[in-house]
Structure 1
Amino acid sequence: MLNPFKPKPGRVLALLSLCATAAQLRAAIPVRAQIDVTGYVIHTDLDPATGRMNATAAVTFTALDDLNVAVFGLNNGLAVSSITDATGAVLTSERNVTDSTIRVTPSAILAKGSSATWNFTYAGAPSVTTSPVDGIKFLQITDPVSILLYPGRWFPISMPGLFTDRFTMDLQVTVPTGERVVGSGGVGGEKKLPGERSEYDFKWDKPGFAGTIVAGKFLAPITPPGIPNIRAFVTKANETRAKDMAVTVAREFEFMTTAFGQAQSGRLEIVELPADSVSAFWAPEIIAIRPDRANTRLLANTVAHQWWGSQVSPATLNDAWITFGMDRYAELLYIEEQSGKTAMQNAVNDSEAAALAYDTEPLSTLGRTDPFSPQFQNMVLDKGAMVFHMLRWEMGDDQFLAFLRGILSQYSDKSVRTANVKQVAEAASKLDLTSFFSQWVEGTGAPSFGDNFQVYRLGKGKGFRTVGSVTQDLDLFSMPVELRIETEGKTEDRRVDLAGTESHYTVETFGRPRHIILDPDNWLLKTTPDLSVKVAVLRGQQSVAQGDLLGAIAEYQKALAEDRGSSLANYRLAEIFMMQHNYQAAANSFRDALRGDGEPKWTEVWCHINLGKIFDITGQRERAVNEYRLAVQTNDNTQGAINEARSLMAHPFKRDEEASGS
């Protein structure tokens, strides 16, 4: 999954700059797939005491071209001792540490369409320093939890092929007795071996992405009451969180099963990830999660991958918006189900900002962009989600769900392309969606709407006629938009088909129109002054994550130029000043945030806490305690704010302590 792993505040760099040099290294990786890996048979032995693993992997694949060399991805911490073909002939290989690949030369040229099985033997002590994605821990053998996540390349994967080349997997994992192993398609449970070792067997015989296992000193599995098919595996330290995670996942799994149909499996294993790893990951039957990050939205996004990513997957990274966008949109649908339309619309606002933050490359050509860059992440997740949100508006709810189920049924256990999605959408909706896909998938940008109208009184008490036009700045834009006419009496909604830069409408109402709202329920991706502020703040946060404080300040100043009263922009600017120990400037900006629009609400409590810290640092304890008291009085415990304020009332904050933020 490309990005449901959300790192700690202050360490977002690890995610958003995942492989900052990837664009430079791509020349060493084939531009398009050379081979189609169809299956693996793997045995791996894990030794947490030394951090080492030993493995053998039989890789069966088909050549997609005539090949005199095949490129596989393999973690730099794993040294290959031998590679042989099906005849036992030893194959030569060359390691490229700059892109975590190994180039293997066959004993004879592989003809296009021919199949082969190569046997790899390798071992090593992989860690975050050997990760193929800079700064992200996908692979580490350690106590109490070892993680072998698919992007960590703990087995040879085709390049390129991450999340696109589907395969089956037979897997044996050996661990010290007393450890449990979680994987896809568990067979038979623990098998005791001599020498205080245990073996776990896994078999996933549907083409997919079963290449993730997590092993550790887990307690006996914890299940929600009456739901034995969902189990949580956690260490003793996280025992109290296990039941809540299991109950939440059970509800989300039930909701998505109702919406999308049956998943590949009715079983889900929730498994703990270490505190210094990614926030979440997935595989068939697996919800891997850091318990300290296990909020409803992240869990929902991870659960959605059982359909969007596992059951169907993108044919290429140019099609990644389909599955990753639907993971995000499934998350938003669950918010709507649990908390209502207002909560859904607030979440859509966040996705709109992320969708427009880097909208310079069409979704249909993102495959040439670093897949772990902020641009790729924001586009495939959030613009992808907005594409589905707008399709729902065009189709209507019933046809939209039929469309989603159509994709899953027609392409189950297969790859899907943008053209396939368009075809299924048109069949379900009976609409010509060429213009829609041209604008939102093959194009960039979003319209900025305007509305000009005149109101005329009709004679003989017949009411009023409003004659107006909707304007926007994209010449080829064509899509329906909703108008909400608020009158002195009944509020009325009208659907207006837009085409070109100006579209006219006429509406008759009994009451005099007082206000006309374009797209009142926020169905369309569009540019607005409010959204420009959010976009600038988001880009600023990502600049901070990448260590570019000057760039972040510039983005926050852009946001404040649009809206001086933005509490969020002022708050984020104040955070940077605190990082720089510029306490007077930080205090000024925190106070500007308190005087601002109060959005989001948590800025109030955290402004008071951070002002208190500034007063503590500068030796003004009485003023600090007063700010902490004001924080408590907000009754807002976002990110444990009230708990922290009470703690700081008892113990003064010191500058060398780690600063907290929301």
Structure 2
Amino acid sequence: MLTTVKSKCILTFMCVLLIMTMSTLCAKEVRENKIQSHNLEIELFLKEHKLKAVDHMQVQCKDTEKVSCLINGAFQILSVGSLDRKLDFKVRTRGFDIDSLIQKGVAGNVQCLEITIPSDLRQADGLILDIAYEGCLFEKPASLELEDVGETTGIIDEAGVYLSPACTWYPDIPGSLAAFRVTAITPEGHEAVTQGTLVSRKSIDGKTYTTWEERNVSEGCDLVAGKYKVTSINHKGIDIYAYFFPEEQGLVETYINATKRYLDMYQKLLGDYPYGKFAIVENFFQTGYGMPSFTLLGNTVVKMPFIVDTSLGHEILHNWWGNSVFVDESQGNWCEGLTTYMADYYYKELKDSASAEEYRKDICRKYTNYVTGENDFPLKKFIGRRDQATRAIGYGKTAMVFHMLRRMVGDELFYKSLRRFYKEMIWQQASWKDIQYVFEDTGKMDLSWFFEQWINWEGAPFLELGKTEVEKVIDGWLTKVEVIQKGKPYHLFLSVRLGLDEGNFHTIAEVKGQSDHISLRTKSQPRYIIIDPQCDVFRRLHTEEIPPTIDLVLGDENKVVVYPTGGEGASQESYKKLAESLADKKTAVRADTEVTEKELSQKSLFVLGGPAENKLTKMFVENLSKDFSLEAGSFGVNKVTYKDKGNALLVTSKNVKNRKKGVAVFMGLGPDAIKSVGYKIPHYGKYSYLVFVDGKNVDKGTFAVTDNPLGRTLDQ
């Protein structure tokens, strides 16, 4: 299961690191010269995994002796010219800063193209350079079934074509914001799609020529091609396309109708959609990317029923945040969290308040489970996610920052400010400072303290209830409560709920110090008090607030994954491979006969195998509720018995030897069930239990939390 579909706004952390470091490459002129536009003519030879292309690249080069750009190291530069004149050029693969990247294994496939500009052409502010090149690209996806398992950035194949800016399939100067016109030549029967508006499409002599153009600038260009059947409609002046394989034509209407709804919704919230088209494009391996004016979804991903209701809208929204208002990464990436808040979270809010509350709690749980003092960092340093901790910070914490800002300024000012931010910053790079300025200027208020603590500080507040007092006064009751902040105190606006003899009393209390006292007057006698009852403040949670979940176990850096020594040989082998895939650098992988008493009492445990397979399983399943039973060759959940070979169960509990730690038990009734389900487990992190039948999730849930350390019964 995919809980969030990754945006191509930030392809991967590795690619971001490459692009950032490449800004120092080649020579000083790489930083000084900028590309204004690309006019690419590219022919794709699928059987040979090859492309042949010419880029008519318009570049600023006034008073510049040389122009340096980057291009894929597998390509051969055929010629460089301008105004029908051949220009001298040189290709370098060593001798510049990329050597340090190669040593890190990041970018061994980039070369620097240096073009000499004759003196009589140096006065041109927008010189067009004609660069002809060819080469092969075939990064075989690590898996055709899984998302986020490999770093595939460029592939040309009969199964499909995917070329991202990260593979430098066209000449590039990092930091350029350029317009793109792309003419793709494919074998007839293959359709090519990229950003922008369709200019022309024609088939001649067994080849299809397709031209797309986007005159507004972007940070890069992706090109996709495949054996698609194309459906298109026009919705209120926007062309909507579905590039789906023939087998998935039954999904086309659903996706197009959903796209119409999302476009209408976000135009009402934020302003006009910035492009002339939006295309839903199916991919032959598993991706969930959002590019300017289109999204690329894997052929397994598009069939997942929740994608239309969640991830599709997320990627459409990226056309406002990230694809037209760009991110100034020098001050941190704000757009992933804002998109998460206005898409994934917003859809929960539209559903009902309980779903929205649960989403906020899950954000705080993930942060508490995965982020420690060792891996924490402030939002100003977030670029892209590379693991659960960076995701919890960059996506989750950022989303909660916008939630707290919205609650503080109100809905009207919040959306008014975002509309202004979009209007003023479109086609430019924007930073947290720009967001702060717009909100401050629109609301005529000082928000420097808010952005200082949430953007520049690492960490999160940790709240405790101190002394509480209730006394009878002349006109009712006076309740006094102490709110304590452990660690560096934040300036917070906390929801407070008093349960009264007659109804409930709600208010917002402002706290700033390590110890603040709140006084509340009510006419009816108070019986209990809860601070932040609906988790509206981003904070580190108490152990008692966190149910046993998959995240609780996987988030423990020092967890132990335990594979069984009993059972069938094929299942044992599958469990052992799963154990290795669940482990990271600090994780211990043990056989059930090797686990020590110290590990049992001090660490979270991921136990693989049923009671007849793993010696530890029986020890922990005794603590489960009566709704769960595990036997040799079967299990029961919520009064349903499962005993087929394709069935699998995962269930969690708190470690009875250490309530701060968790235990997860996973059992598959056959080796195929173990293999088909095992890799999906991290995608279900917020759940306490999962049931699968033939690889499909049929039951899931999160156990309730009964204790609330920020709630207290009040006595006079």
TM-score class normalised by the smaller sequence: 0.7 to 0.9
Following TM superposition, by how much is the alpha carbon of 1:261 offset from its aligned partner in structure 2, in angstroms?
A: 1.9
**Could you tell me how far apart the structure 2 residues matched to 1:266 and 1:173 are?**
19
1:360 and 1:269, CA in 2 relative to 1: closer, same or farther beyond 3 A? Answer: same
Structure 1: segments with no counterpart, 5+ residues:
8-14, 555-560, 599-603, 616-622
1:274 maps to amino acid: F
Secondary structure at 2:507 match in 1: strand
Residues 16 and 373 in structure 1, CA contact (< 8 A), matched pair in contact too = no
Q: Specify the alignment match of 1:465 in structure 2.
A: 478
1:433 maps onto 2:431 in alignment: no
What are the equivalent positions in structure 2 for 1:638-649 lying under 5 Å apart?
Answer: 644-645=646-647
Using the TM superposition, name which of 470-479 and 541-550 deviates more: 541-550
Q: In structure 2, how many angstroms separate the alpha carbons of the residues matched to 1:297 and 1:642? A: 32
CA-CA distance at 1:476 after TM superposition: 5.0
Give, in whole Å, the separation in 1 of the partners of 2:65 and 2:515.
55
CA apart distance, 1:207:
1.3
Partner in structure 1 of residue 360 of structure 2: 348
Distance in 2, Cα, partners of 1:17 & 1:82: 34
Structure 1 residues 241, 90: closer, same or farther in 2, change over 3 A? same
2:254 maps to: 244
TM-score normalised by the chain length of structure 2:
0.72
Post-superposition offset of 1:174: 0.4
Q: 2:346 aligns with which of 334, 349, 366?
A: 334
CA pair 376-403 structure 1, distance change in 2 beyond 3 A: same
CA deviation profile, 1:609-654 (whole Å, cap 9, x unmatched): xx6xxx7xxxxxxx42x42xx3595599xxxx9995399xxx9724
Corresponding residue for residue 187 of structure 2: 176
Aligned residue runs from structure 1 range 59-138, under 5 A: 59-62=57-60, 70-72=68-70, 74-84=71-81, 87-95=85-93, 98=102, 99=107, 100-107=109-116, 116-128=127-139, 135-138=150-153
Gaps of 5+ in 2: 143-147, 560-578, 590-597, 650-667, 682-716
Distance in 2, Cα, partners of 1:448 & 1:646: 38
Judged with a 3 Å threshold, the aligned counterparts in structure 2 of structure 1 residues 200 and 113 are, in CA distance, closer, same or farther, namely closer
- Counterpart residue identity of residue 194, structure 2: G
1:230 matched to 2:240: yes
Q: CA deviation at 1:124?
A: 2.2
Q: Cα deviation per residue 1:287-344 (whole Å; 9 max; x = unaligned)?
A: 21124224132222211111001220112353322x2221111223432344222212
C-alpha displacement at 1:501, in angstroms? 1.2
Match of 1:491 among 499, 504, 509: 504
Whole-angstrom CA distance in 1 between matches of 2:118 and 2:415: 48
The Cα of 1:393 is off from its aligned counterpart by 1.8
| Distance in 1 between residues matched to 2:264 and 2:274, nearest whole Å | 14
* SS in structure 2 at match of 1:658: helix
Query: Contact conserved, 2:13 with 2:386, CA < 8 A, in 1?
Result: yes
Q: 1:418 aligns with which of 416, 420, 432?
A: 432
Does the 8 A contact of 1:169 with 1:204 survive in 2?
yes
Moved more, 304-313 or 250-259: 250-259
Q: 2:41 aligns with which of 39, 43, 58?
A: 43
Q: Which has the higher strand share?
A: 2
Alignment match, 1:551: 586
Q: Distance in 1 between matches of 2:646 and 2:391?
A: 32
Write out aligned runs for 1:86-485 (5 A).
87-95=85-93, 98=102, 99=107, 100-107=109-116, 116-128=127-139, 135-159=150-174, 161=175, 165-194=176-205, 196-209=206-219, 211-221=221-231, 229-265=239-275, 267-275=277-285, 277=286, 279-294=287-302, 295=307, 296-321=309-334, 323-355=335-367, 357-358=370-371, 360-366=376-382, 372=386, 376-460=390-474, 462-475=475-488, 477-485=490-498
Q: Secondary structure at the match of 2:333?
A: helix
SS of 1:432 mapped into structure 2: coil
With 449-458 and 300-309 compared, the bigger mean Cα shift is at 449-458
Would the alpha carbon gap of residues 482 and 320 (structure 1) be closer, same or farther in structure 2, given more than 3 Å must change? same
- Whether the aligned pair in 2 keeps the contact of 1:488 and 1:514 (CA below 8 Å) is yes
Q: Does 2:675 correspond to 1:658?
A: yes
* Contact 1:68 1:105 (8 Å CA) reproduced: yes
Structure in which a larger fraction of residues adopt helix: 1
Matches within 5 A, 1:609-628: 623-624=632-633, 626-627=634-635
For 1:107, the aligned partner's letter is: T
Once the two structures are TM-superposed, the CA of residue 395 in structure 1 deviates from its matched residue by 1.1
What is the CA deviation profile of residues 543-592 of structure 1, one whole-angstrom value per residue up to 9, with x for unaligned ones?
A: 989764463459xxxxxx9x99x9xx76xx13xx359x994157348736
One-letter code aligned to 1:658 = K
Q: Which residue of 2 aligns with 1:10?
A: none
1:497-508 aligned within 5 A: 497-508=510-521
* Aligned equivalents of 1:23, 1:175: Cα separation in 2: 29
User: What fraction of aligned residue pairs are identical, expressed as a percent?
Assistant: 16
Determine the C-alpha separation between the residues in 2 that align with 1:504 and 1:634: 51
CA distance in 1, matches of 2:290, 2:558: 24
Matches within 5 A, 1:517-536: 517-530=530-543
Q: Which amino acid aligns with 1:182?
A: V
Kept after mapping to 2: 8 A contact 1:84/1:91: no
Q: How far, CA to CA, are the matches of 2:554 and 2:313 in structure 1?
A: 22
2-side partners of 1:83 and 1:442: how far apart?
46
Counterpart in 2 of 1:619? none
Letter in 2 for 1:463: G
Distance in 2 separating the partners of 1:20 and 1:284: 17
| Distance in 2, Cα, partners of 1:476 & 1:646 | 46
Query: 2:478 is matched by which residue type in structure 1?
Result: R
Q: C-alpha offsets along residues 384-431 of structure 1, whole Å, 9 cap, x if unaligned? A: 222212211221111111111111011122211221111001123333
Kept in 2, the 8 Å contact 1:354–1:379? The answer is: no
Counterpart secondary structure, 1:123: strand
Q: 1:552 to 1:156 in 2, by over 3 A?
A: farther
Displacement of 1:352: 3.1
Q: Does 1:591 align with 2:621?
A: yes
Shift of 1:128: 2.1
One-letter amino acid of the structure 1 residue matched with residue 347 of structure 2: I
Conserved 8 A contact 1:281-1:288: yes
Contact kept? 2:283, 2:296, Cα under 8 Å? yes
Q: Distance in 1 between matches of 2:673 and 2:367?
A: 37
